Amino acid sequence: MGLERTCVELGPRSYSVFVGEGLLGGIDELLGEGDWRRALVVTDDNVGPLYADTVTGSLRRAGLEVALNSIEPGENSKSMHEALELIELLATSGMTRVDLLVALGGGVVGDLAGFVASVYKRGMPFLQVPTTLMAQVDSSIGGKTGVNLDCGKNLVGTFHQPVAVISDVETLSTLSEREYRSGMAEVAKYSFLRPEMWPTPLAESAVSLKGVDKAQLAKVVNRCAAIKAEIVSGDECDTGLRAVLNYGHTLGHALEAATGYDGTYTHGEAVSIGMVYAGIVSEEIGSGPPGVADRHREVLASLGLPTTPRTPPGFDAVLDAMRHDKKNRDGITMVLIDRDNNPFVRAGLETGMLKCCYQRLVS
């Protein structure tokens, strides 16, 4: 099996991110020694039927006693209610704080299971086995866990690093084109943040899932993992540098919130539009390289991603949602881009200017 390995350097909490083809059947070899005797694999009803047998088989070969629990797919499962059910299950089945929780699925399963692992008995080990492109390039790395409240997304959460991340790109072949493209928005984000690491245009390697070369895809996933690992290693708890990973997310999250997380936009689609907006704002305040928004549009459109809202919410609704962004200090705060394409955080952005930029985005 082809295998690439990146280390997230966090002292005693350091771990490896493995990326390759056909890794699910070899988890026993990749996992290495641990104190765990038992594992609970958490997955969802789409992913479980496809990959749970391979994963549980592999964990059993590592000598573990394995149980499986499947949740309903979708954002609604990222809830306190679901977290409590899982915690009860861990407790009633006698799992100890040295046993292993395994997250097999996309970002929803990873965020939920990671959160549960972080609070059960004040923290137990967990393994990330991400199966969406979004989760392989972003959510499985870095230890951000969480669930949603009725009044907002990711409002309850912890930092809890996994013991390892095992990203098998073969699992991506069963994704829908829409979910695949959604993950490509985060890939595009890394290419905007670190252009020097992308010698060939993204669109040449990975437009459609059907035509994509798996070895090439593994390289792309690994490159994103390496960029994220470097950023997380420098700022584990998101107090500075890590904020740049939120490029495009201020408007992105606002669009998701303003449409009630009803599926109008996947996370990646919303971030795609948000990156064009961040480009426009960068131009407007005079920091960005001229034409950056158009260049973002070109790349994102070539990946089949939206670059403007289909039915744009009014600016007041968007502004209201942007005001709830966790990054905010002294008014609206965004990640923008400077003349050398370096991202930076700017607080106190003026709402009149933000409105003009929104009009430019939707016109």
Q: 272 contacts which partner out of ligand NAD, ligand GLY, none, CB within 5 to 8 A by kind?
A: none
Question: Would you state the structure tokens that stand for residue 26, as one six-digit string?
Answer: 């070899």
For residues 172 and 144, what is the distance between their CA atoms, to the nearest angstrom?
Answer: 22
63-31-71 Cα angle (round to 5)? 80
DSSP symbol at 12: G
Residue nearest to ligand GLY (CB): 245
Which region, judged by CB under 6 A, interacts with ligand GLY, from 73-81, 127-135, 136-144, 275-283? 136-144
Confirm or reject binding of residue 238 to ligand GLY (CB under 6 A): yes
Confirm or reject binding of residue 236 to ligand GLY (CB under 6 A): no
Q: What is the DSSP string of 308-346?
A: S-SSPPPHHHHHHHHTT-TT-SSSEEEEEE-TTS-EEEE
Site for ligand NAD in 264-283 (CB under 6 A): 267
Site string for ligand NAD, 234-253 (x = CB under 6 A): --------------------
Which region, judged by CB under 6 A, interacts with ligand GLY, from 10-18, 113-121, 238-246, 281-289? 238-246
Question: Would you state the structure tokens that stand for residue 20, as one six-digit string?
Answer: 């390759």
Site string for ligand NAD, 94-113 (x = CB under 6 A): -----------xxxxx-x--
Closer residue to ligand GLY in complex, CB, 144/181: 144
Confirm or reject binding of residue 189 to ligand NAD (CB under 6 A): no
Q: Tokens 């979708």 label which residue?
A: 74
Q: 75 contacts which partner out of ligand NAD, ligand GLY, none, CB within 5 to 8 A by kind?
A: ligand NAD
For residues 250 and 257, what is the distance between their CA atoms, to the nearest angstrom?
Answer: 11
Q: 137 contacts which partner out of ligand NAD, ligand GLY, none, CB within 5 to 8 A by kind?
A: none
Q: 20 contacts which partner out of ligand GLY, ligand NAD, none, CB within 5 to 8 A by kind?
A: none
For residue 35, with 0-12 CB atoms within 10 Å meaning exposed, 13-18 middle and 19 or more buried, which class applies?
A: exposed
Confirm or reject binding of residue 99 to ligand GLY (CB under 6 A): no
Total site size for ligand NAD, rule CB under 6 A: 29
For residues 88 and 94, what is the distance between their CA atoms, to the nearest angstrom?
Answer: 10
Q: In whole angstroms, how large is the CA radius of gyration of the chain?
A: 20
Confirm or reject binding of residue 142 to ligand GLY (CB under 6 A): yes
Handedness of CA 80, 86, 90, 91 (dihedral sign): positive
Query: What residues are paired with 40 via a beta bridge?
Result: 67, 101
Closer residue to ligand GLY in complex, CB, 268/309: 268
Confirm or reject binding of residue 44 to ligand NAD (CB under 6 A): yes
Site for ligand GLY in 269-288 (CB under 6 A): none
For residues 43 and 61, what is the distance between their CA atoms, to the nearest angstrom?
Answer: 19
Residue 138's closest CA among 58, 242, 50? 242
Query: What residues make contact with ligand GLY under the rule CB under 6 A?
Result: 138, 142, 144, 238, 242, 245
Query: What residues make contact with ligand NAD under the rule CB under 6 A?
Result: 44, 46-47, 50, 73-75, 78, 105-109, 111, 131-132, 134-135, 138-139, 142, 144, 154, 171, 174-175, 179, 182, 267
